Amino acid sequence: MVQNQISSHAFYAAELRSERVRIFGVLAFLAAVFVVLSVRVFLIHTTVLTAHVAWNFGLAAALH
């Protein structure tokens, strides 16, 4: 299968905008998770960050 490169400035700019939106989306999701966990830990005093959960997160990070 042959892949043709499109040498268009407009296409390149659109590709960069798409990547920027994707990166900001991931950062917004991580920020939302951080805010929710912070509220649970500091305001409600409930958390799911036990040793068992930390072990699972560590294994998931190692597999990624």
Which residue's entry shows tokens 């958390």? 47
* Structure token digits, residue 36: 């929710």
Cα–chain-centroid distance for residue 64? 13
This prediction has a pTM of 0.57
Alpha carbons within 13 A on the beta-carbon side of 15: 8
Given a cut of 70, the residues of the chain with pLDDT beneath it are 1-4, 6, 46-51, 53-54, 56-57, 60, 64
Phi, psi (deg, nearest 5) at residue 49: -90, 70
